Structure 1
Amino acid sequence: MTETPLLSVARRLDHCTVLGPGNRAVIWVQGCPLRCRGCVAAETLPFEGGTAYTVAELADWLCSLPDVEGVTLSGGEPFSQAAPLAALLDAVRARRPGFGAMAYSGFRHEALRRGDRGQQALLRRLDLLVDGPYVAARHAALRWRGSANQRLVALTDRYAHLTDEPDTSAGVELSLETDGSLSWAGVPPTPGFREGLEEQLAARGFVLHTQARREA
């Protein structure tokens, strides 16, 4: 019997306008083999932790969201869980053929093209890729990217027009959770944003929510 593939997820968000074109769902996977200094999502780096979801569970969730045009895969490193993510995109597009897909990766596009079968499969299913490691010394206020070495790579015609638009920061979004805590999404336009935000929120009695968990 074939084993059902599981995805380890650090967090998911059903509506976001600052991590890719239009209104998007976002999935932050758990685990990254890279350790970029100044990573804005350090809690997603360990492969331990996170929440285990089946491809079917996440496909049902994405297909239930009526006002999103696609999903952005972040983390963590999506290409460390490439095969089940490729299966997830196939499952969603079987029900919503026009569903868009964007991903972040600390690896360069050229390296991913030479990657394993799962990585190549995920790459073929993406419309847009942000590639390259975050380099703190090259931090810049760019659209959907944190440092100037990172690139927006259009892999299909869907978002090819973006190369002609202004390359400026999309900013960040704050969300109030049901438990009263705050979470945020986006690529900070200034270095040290997260630390400063956490200090300001703590001074006002707010707790920053960084990672959702549930029992598998």
Structure 2
Amino acid sequence: MTTTLLSVARTLDNCTVLGPGTRAVIWVQGCPLRCRGCVAAETLPFEGGTPRPVAELTEWLVGLSQVAGGVEGVTLSGGEPFSQAAALVELIDTVRARRPDFSVMAYSGFRYEALCRGDAGRRALLDRLDLLIDGPYVASKHGSLRWRGSANQRVLALSDRYAHVLTESDTSAGIELSLATDGSFAWAGVPPTSGFREGFEAHLAARGFVLHAEARREP
């Protein structure tokens, strides 16, 4: 029996700044784009990452959704999720077979219209999304926007579940910080100001902290 693997840069159990409600996050490894100012450049090479079986990720997501106050869905970031569309389709389907109400949001550096003209795997992933943030990150259009880095990027409701978010305040959801057991910091979110990562890393390094970026790339 063939085991489907997903190349993963990192995961996060609990996040409230990368989509509606409380969500798990998967940052995939590898992106064909090279947007200037990407805040997660370490996720761009297709080399690296950790091969994770879809079955293992399914158990992780289902477990997170079953606990009291658990996550309501997953946000797919990276890297470029649509570069691993087939594996993500399998993951979504296996999770929803057990948790039909599990929601899915994704980021992509490609425009929605281009994804619609893509191969069957990309179209299948689109069909399973509740929300899509599309378009490349453009540093000159950086703004303090909800869930995205630049004004050219769009929040697209691909199902009725989150259609209401399109009428809500379009201001930054902010970032979240966490302190690891080894004393290092991690962060997740979309920086409301350009140059955030460089300045924050320098500020912490001067005080002896190591920063792990758990932010989505700004495609």
Which interval holds the TM-score relative to the shorter structure? over 0.9
- 1:57 equivalent in structure 2: 56
Provide the secondary structure at the position in 2 that maps to 1:179: coil
- 1:68 equivalent in structure 2: 71
- 1:214 equivalent in structure 2: none
Mapping of residues 47-126 of structure 1, within 5 Å? 47-65=46-64, 66=67, 67-126=70-129
Mapping of residues 1-216 of structure 1, within 5 Å? 3-65=2-64, 66=67, 67-210=70-213
Distance 1:171 1:105, change over 3 A: same
Provide the secondary structure at the position in 2 that maps to 1:72: strand
Range 143-152 or range 175-184, more displaced:
175-184
Provide the secondary structure at the position in 2 that maps to 1:206: coil
Give the drift of 1:179.
Answer: 2.2
Range 169-178 or range 67-76, more displaced:
169-178
Structure 1 Cα separation of the partners of residues 104 and 181 of structure 2: 28
Letter in 2 for 1:35: R
- Structure 1: segments with no counterpart, 5+ residues: 212-216
Structure 1 Cα separation of the partners of residues 180 and 130 of structure 2: 30
Letter in 2 for 1:155: L
TM-score (norm 1): 0.95
Provide the secondary structure at the position in 2 that maps to 1:94: helix
Provide the secondary structure at the position in 2 that maps to 1:64: helix
Distance 1:42 1:163, change over 3 A: same
Structure 1 Cα separation of the partners of residues 95 and 213 of structure 2: 26
**Structure 1 residue ranges (4+ consecutive) displaced by more than 6 angstroms after TM superposition:** none
Residues 104-158 of structure 1, C-alpha deviation per residue, up to 9 Å, x if partnerless?
0000000111111110111100000000000001001110010000000000000
Query: Over aligned residues, Cα RMSD in angstroms?
Result: 0.9
Letter in 1 for 2:153: Q
Give the drift of 1:46.
Answer: 0.3
Provide the secondary structure at the position in 1 that maps to 2:98: coil
Structure 2 Cα separation of the partners of residues 187 and 46 of structure 1: 20
Does structure 1 retain, via aligned residues, the 8 Å contact 2:188–2:213?
no
Structure 2 Cα separation of the partners of residues 39 and 196 of structure 1: 14
Structure 2 Cα separation of the partners of residues 11 and 175 of structure 1: 14
